[in-house]
């Protein structure tokens, strides 16, 4: 029964395997959870028990041990050992720092009950009753009043099992948390087997619905959905369990049953439901065959500004749907050595990869277990996308997708490839970009185009990147930036196969948070073709990609005008 949580036992007999195969073969238009392979690491000290779970399939644990990462192995009777968690830091008493404009005034030491003095910086450390804070701020000689905050080398949550979450460190989530931990104004929809909403490490629900049973009670009777939710959005700093990537609200939508199977219909219903309920990110850790319905549902959500993320699949074959839909970010899995996991599906649709082996996460009944697979890699990307939306509320789904691509750490062959896509998702790099040209499309066809640009920090403008312009010849192109005291322009001839190195006559600065106008004139359809070969006396130079000053990587066929607007004329 759905309401009763069960302990699944793995019965490996030919009869049951044949029975499951028969059921699977008889299931029409079904979508299966991607096959996650739960890992069991061996460390030392305390022992805990973990249920080995295969998402929708019975399996022999011995089959998967050959691909376990170094230091991981299965233990008889599913018993494993794990190092005890690091003790939480001792709480500090709340104190205030009061800084003065000049020397510390007389009588202050007696008035505030000073704990310490720094005469060189004209400040004191005091106990922090609210009345003293108000009193201090009201004094004319006070320069500032602030809490005596803790400092740290990098943000580290105090969750018990955080030290064992290698995947978070690999995508630089710990560094990203120094910038953004998540906003309650952002909603992450998780389409899966439901969730154990009584779990100690999960909460912040923005709503829920069970599309399998058509009710509002999406209890997880499988375990997969609870695991996915934990990676993406488990509580942080609650002194227990694991740390989730983004502290955002979760919209729980059950589309898979207790065996890990569902239908395209239910999935499509859930996708449109999520979009209609303003889900900023939709995470899907399941896969199946191609479906026009799925394509339409994903397009619907995309057109409603939802970002969709899905698992590529665990069959070492082509990318499954919905990950293969053009409006969905397809996610593959890597191991601890940054190698593509042997099971991870691949192909031209693959966009990003994330850690997928030995990932510790939440499990029903207030427990925790280890998973591996593209299903568990996917919420790493979903969580980072939710962080981005939390930090930059006005970013569209298209902009978030672009930023995830351009800030990914390139793996495998240089540039985008079928096995790693654009590379490893990088939370810190994605959040760390300071310059954003704002909303709106960029011109990529001939004519005169106008718009505005508002930098988020001061930008020193010096020159445009030297590029190879393919045009029809005989026309003049120019860019003009003006407003808020700025009136600068540059122009060049757009002849076929000319190299250009365009500079403004005098360097200038665009100030942060001010809006400037731009006008760009193109006389043809110029494009930067980075794969063109440059003949030299000593051989041939071939450039296959270009990284601009913001770290954005561009590949062949990017319109030159788009590049100009984004960064080519705006150099830090």
More confident: 165 or 535? 165
- Share above pLDDT 90 across residues of the chain, in percent, rounded to a whole number: 35
Q: What does the alpha-carbon distance between residue 248 and residue 51 come to, in Å, rounded to a whole number?
A: 28
Contact 329, 382 (CB under 8 A): no
Dihedral of the alpha carbons of 58, 64, 70, 71, in degrees to the nearest 10:
40
What is the reported pLDDT for 379? 97
Q: What is the pLDDT of residues 299-351, one digit of tens each?
A: 999 999 999 999 999 989 999 999 999 999 999 999 999 999 999 999 999 99
User: SS3 of 168, please?
Assistant: helix
Q: What is the pLDDT of residues 254-312, one digit of tens each?
A: 999 888 888 888 888 899 999 999 999 999 999 888 887 788 889 999 999 999 999 99
178-192, 211-225, 434-448, 452-466: segment of lowest average pLDDT: 434-448
Neighbouring CB atoms inside 10 A of 70's CB total 8
Q: What's the mean pLDDT in 533-557?
A: 46
Mean pLDDT score of the chain: 69
What is the reported pLDDT for 131? 52
Q: What is the pLDDT of residues 88-122, one digit of tens each?
A: 334 556 667 787 888 888 777 666 678 878 787 67
More confident: 281 or 8? 281
What is the reported pLDDT for 480? 73
> Which of the residue ranges 65-69, 223-227, 507-511 has the most confident prediction, judged by mean pLDDT?
223-227
More confident: 173 or 144? 173
- Residue 365 in this model has a pLDDT that exceeds 80: yes
Q: Burial level of 102, CB count in 10 A (0-12/13-18/19+)?
A: exposed
Strands (E), 222-315: 249-254, 261-263, 281-284, 286-287, 307-311
> Which of the residue ranges 9-23, 492-506, 558-572 has the most confident prediction, judged by mean pLDDT?
492-506
What is the reported pLDDT for 489? 72
In this prediction, residue 21 has a pLDDT band, given cuts at 50, 70 and 90, of very low
> 190 CB contacts (<8 Å, ≥6 apart)?
225, 228, 229, 232, 250, 251, 252, 253, 283, 379, 382
Q: What does the alpha-carbon distance between residue 538 and residue 531 come to, in Å, rounded to a whole number?
A: 18
Helix H or strand E segment including 109 = helix 108-112
Give me the sign of the Cα torsion angle 238, 91, 427, 38: negative
What is the reported pLDDT for 351? 97
2-11, 84-93, 171-180, 226-235: segment of lowest average pLDDT: 2-11
Q: Burial level of 368, CB count in 10 A (0-12/13-18/19+)?
A: buried
Q: What is the pLDDT of residues 231-247, one digit of tens each?
A: 999 999 888 899 999 99
Q: What is the pLDDT of residues 412-422, one digit of tens each?
A: 998 899 999 99
- Residue 468 in this model has a pLDDT that exceeds 80: no
What is the reported pLDDT for 487? 79
Give the residue numbers marked as catalytic: 192, 224, 375
- Give the distance from CA 128 to its chain's centroid: 38
Q: What's the mean pLDDT in 499-524?
A: 63
Q: What does the alpha-carbon distance between residue 227 and residue 218 come to, in Å, rounded to a whole number?
A: 14
In this prediction, residue 429 has a pLDDT band, given cuts at 50, 70 and 90, of confident
Phi first, then psi: give them for residue 377, nearest 5 degrees. Answer: -75, -35
User: SS3 of 217, please?
Assistant: coil
Q: How far are the Cα atoms of 42, 160, 201 from residue 83, in angstroms, in the given order?
A: 9, 10, 20
Q: Burial level of 562, CB count in 10 A (0-12/13-18/19+)?
A: middle
142-147: strand order across its sheet: 114-118, 123-127, 95-100, 142-147
Q: Which position has the token pair 């740390």?
A: 243
What is the reported pLDDT for 529? 39
In this prediction, residue 86 has a pLDDT band, given cuts at 50, 70 and 90, of very low
Q: What is the pTM of this model?
A: 0.55
User: SS3 of 6, please?
Assistant: coil
Q: How far are the Cα atoms of 190, 232, 235, 358 from residue 239, in angstroms, in the given order?
A: 25, 18, 9, 22
Name the residue among 353, 349, 318, 315 with its Cα closest to residue 334: 353
What's the angle, vertex CA 432, arms to CA 430 and CA 434, rounded to 5?
Answer: 115
Q: What does the alpha-carbon distance between residue 197 and residue 75 come to, in Å, rounded to a whole number?
A: 30
Q: What does the alpha-carbon distance between residue 87 and residue 105 come to, in Å, rounded to a whole number?
A: 42
Phi first, then psi: give them for residue 235, nearest 5 degrees. Answer: -60, 150
Q: How far are the Cα atoms of 26, 77, 184, 270 from residue 45, in angstroms, in the given order?
A: 47, 17, 38, 44
What's the start-to-end Cα distance of the chain, in Å?
60
What is the reported pLDDT for 490? 67
Q: What's the mean pLDDT in 28-56?
A: 31
- Residue 498 in this model has a pLDDT that exceeds 70: no
In this prediction, residue 75 has a pLDDT band, given cuts at 50, 70 and 90, of very low
What is the reported pLDDT for 421? 96
Q: What is the pLDDT of residues 160-174, one digit of tens each?
A: 676 778 999 999 998
Q: What's the mean pLDDT in 452-459?
A: 68
Strand partners, 417: 421
211-225, 319-333, 440-454: segment of lowest average pLDDT: 440-454
Contact 560, 524 (CB under 8 A): no
């Amino acid at each position: 029964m759905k309401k009763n949580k069960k302990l699944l036992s793995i019965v490996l007999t030919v009869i049951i395997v044949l029975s499951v195969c028969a059921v699977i073969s008889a299931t029409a238009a079904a979508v299966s959870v991607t096959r996650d392979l739960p890992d069991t690491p061996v460390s030392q000290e305390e022992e805990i028990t973990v249920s080995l779970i295969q998402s929708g399939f019975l399996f022999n644990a011995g089959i998967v041990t050959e691909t376990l990462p170094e230091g991981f192995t299965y233990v008889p009777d599913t018993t494993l050992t794990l190092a005890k968690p690091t003790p939480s830091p001792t709480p500090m008493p709340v104190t205030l720092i009061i800084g003065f404009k000049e020397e510390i005034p007389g009588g202050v030491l007696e008035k505030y009950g000073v704990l310490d003095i720094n005469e060189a910086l004209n400040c004191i450390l005091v106990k922090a009753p609210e009345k003293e804070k108000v009193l201090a701020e009201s004094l004319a000689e006070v320069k500032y009043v602030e809490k005596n905050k803790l400092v740290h080398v990098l943000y580290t949550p105090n969750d018990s099992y955080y030290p064992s979450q290698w995947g978070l460190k690999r995508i630089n989530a710990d560094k990203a948390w120094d910038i953004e931990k998540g906003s309650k104004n952002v909603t992450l929809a998780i389409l899966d087997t439901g969730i154990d909403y009584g779990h100690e490490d999960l909460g912040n629900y923005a709503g829920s619905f069970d599309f399998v049973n058509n009710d509002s009670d999406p209890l997880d009777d499988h375990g997969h959905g609870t695991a996915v939710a934990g990676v993406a959005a488990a509580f942080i700093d609650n002194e227990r369990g694991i740390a989730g990537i983004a502290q955002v609200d979760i919209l729980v939508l059950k589309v898979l049953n207790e065996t890990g199977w569902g239908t395209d219909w239910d999935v499509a219903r859930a996708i449109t439901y999520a979009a209609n309920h303003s889900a900023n990110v939709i995470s899907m850790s399941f896969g199946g065959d191609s479906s026009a319905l799925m394509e339409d549902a994903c397009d619907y959500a995309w057109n409603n500004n939802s970002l969709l993320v899905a698992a590529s699949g665990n069959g070492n074959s082509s990318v499954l749907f919905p990950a293969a839909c053009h409006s969905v970010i397809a996610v593959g899995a890597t191991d601890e050595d940054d190698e593509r996991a042997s099971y991870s599906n691949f192909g031209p649709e693959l966009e990003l990869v994330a850690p997928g082996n030995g990932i510790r996460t939440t499990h029903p009944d207030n427990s925790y277990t280890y998973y591996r697979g593209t299903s568990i890699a996917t919420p790493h990307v979903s969580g980072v996308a939710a962080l981005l939306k939390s930090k930059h509320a006005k970013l569209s789904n298209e902009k978030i997708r672009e930023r995830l691509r351009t800030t990914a750490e390139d793996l495998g062959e240089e540039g985008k490839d079928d096995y790693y896509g654009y590379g490893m998702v990088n939370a810190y790099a994605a959040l760390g970009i300071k310059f954003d040209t704002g909303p709106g499309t960029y011109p990529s066809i001939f004519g005169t185009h106008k718009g505005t640009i508002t930098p988020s920090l001061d930008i020193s403008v010096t020159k445009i990147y030297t590029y190879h312009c393919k045009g029809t010849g005989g026309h003049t192109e120019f860019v003009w930036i003006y407003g808020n005291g700025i009136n600068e322009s540059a122009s060049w001839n757009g002849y076929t196969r000319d190299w250009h190195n365009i500079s403004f006559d005098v360097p200038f600065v665009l100030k942060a948070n001010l809006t400037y106008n731009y006008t760009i004139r193109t006389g043809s359809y110029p494009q930067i073709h980075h794969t063109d070969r440059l003949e030299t006396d000593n051989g041939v130079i071939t450039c296959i990609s270009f990284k601009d000053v913001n770290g954005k990587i561009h590949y062949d066929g990017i319109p030159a005008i788009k590049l100009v607007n984004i960064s080519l004329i705006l150099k830090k």
